[in-house]
Structure 1
Amino acid sequence: MHDIVRAQGAHNVQWCWAFNNGASPAADWNDEALAYPGGAYVDWIGIDGYNWGFGPSWDPTVDHWTSFVDTFAAAYARARAIDPGKPVMLPEFASSEDGGSKSEWVAAMIAALNAGRFPNLRLLTWFDIDKEERWSLTPGLPGLRELVGSATADDGRTRPVVRRPRCREPSGHCPSSPFSPVVAATRPGPAGADRLAAVR
């Protein structure tokens, strides 16, 4: 598909190769690197991951509450090892509300990003649909105001940005929360230019 798109002259398309934050099963044959098509076919490396909280449907009696850092630290290191030259994104991520405070989870995420914990993480997309868990970011969520406010920072740190995507339902009614944000983190790109990929 990559070659077909390029052959048609579409050079304004960026390609993301993504893997889950935890391999299942964790076996040599299931090593993420074995599926990597190579840097010529990839613009971004993506990691999907979730804080499932307490008692998810697939393990209802166990506490799986995990911080943002613990959810992504190992997978981020893996992404950097697979291709250190590629920026990293989170095409899907979110936190459950079962087993802990989502607002504190978001606040800790912001703190980790601003502290430079994931220096090559350039784009984050919150999975803003209530599905297996209540993943959505509700309008009154504490910590979201800080996320929006930090968009004006100009000191080279990760700068989270919240944007509201267009509703794509034919009826004009989106099933997710009214705020329905896309969360993106940008860093200055080449020659100081900010790089922000549009998602959704």
Structure 2
Amino acid sequence: HEMNGNWYPWSMGSTPQDFILAWRRIHDIFANKSLGSTRLQWIWCVNNADVGGYAAENYWVGENYVDWMGIDGYNFGTSQSWSSWLTPNQVFDNMITRLKNLSSTKPICINEYASTSMRIGNTPNITAKSDWLQQFCTYMNNKQIKMASYFNTEKETDWAIFGGVRGDSLWGNYSVYSAYRSCLQSTDWILANSTNARLISDAQFAGTS
């Protein structure tokens, strides 16, 4: 997880080889417990940009130890002194290309993504964030991203799309962004199981469906 950054113990004070050895050891422990691919999937997830002392590729553990390749990336907009507004393409394109160079067979997922509403300066722009959410929905389909998880937490900025400090509509007492709901209701997504929304098929679990 974000091993090519500089904010976690496994990317500070250790080397890529240390990470690879640790990953493979833990992987083999689970494999020896007969936890097959229908019960456990391994996601090798990098930050969308190299921030630490090593490139993401230096941490590659090998195809035999990975089921999915993942990316975490954010549109910080102008919420930080060092950041500017970025489209989904600008956030993810470069790293997606790099991951595909590592493996042409593993499915790609976006493990964390979010957008601020700060389009220009410190003034929230709900419309701009709504547009970004719609753009990401289209982006996922165009890039054949198999899975994505939104970072619904108010942390560095107003990331949340449900229950956060702002939105374009209400669901009960919660502020929400309707653009996200519209995206999930698209026929481009795998619909939830009608009897149990938490159930998925083995193929969906493996990213092959």
TM-score by shorter chain over 0.5? yes
Residues in 1 aligned to 2:180 and 2:136: alpha-carbon distance in whole angstroms: 11
- Confirm whether residue 103 of structure 1 aligns to residue 130 of structure 2: yes
Aligned pairs for 1:108-187 within 5 A: 108-114=135-141, 116=142, 118-119=143-144, 121-138=145-162, 139-150=175-186, 153=187, 158-159=188-189
Query: What TM-score do you get using the length of structure 2 for normalisation?
Result: 0.66
Aligned pairs for 1:1-200 within 5 A: 1-11=26-36, 12-24=39-51, 30-56=54-80, 60=81, 62-99=82-119, 100=125, 101-114=128-141, 116=142, 118-119=143-144, 121-138=145-162, 139-150=175-186, 153=187, 158-159=188-189, 195-196=204-205
Q: Which runs of 4+ in 1 moved over 6 A?
A: none
- Asked if the contact 1:52/1:95 (under 8 Å) is kept, the reply is yes
Question: What amino acid sits opposite 2:147 in the alignment?
Answer: L
Q: State the partner residue of 1:179.
A: none
Residues in 1 aligned to 2:191 and 2:97: alpha-carbon distance in whole angstroms: 24
- Unmatched tracts of structure 2, length 5 or more: 1-25, 120-124, 163-174, 193-199
Q: State the partner residue of 1:175.
A: none
Alpha-carbon distance, 1:32 to partner: 1.4
- Unmatched tracts of structure 1, length 5 or more: 163-185
Q: State the partner residue of 1:170.
A: none
* SS of residue in 1 equivalent to 2:185: helix
Percent identical: 25
Residues in 2 aligned to 1:48 and 1:106: alpha-carbon distance in whole angstroms: 16
Alpha-carbon distance, 1:34 to partner: 1.6
Residues in 1 aligned to 2:134 and 2:29: alpha-carbon distance in whole angstroms: 43
Superposition RMSD in Å: 2.7
Structure with higher Rg: it is 2
| Larger helix proportion of the pair | 2
Query: What TM-score do you get using the length of structure 1 for normalisation?
Result: 0.69
- Note closer, same or farther for the CA distance 1:130–1:149 as it changes in structure 2 (3 Å cut): same
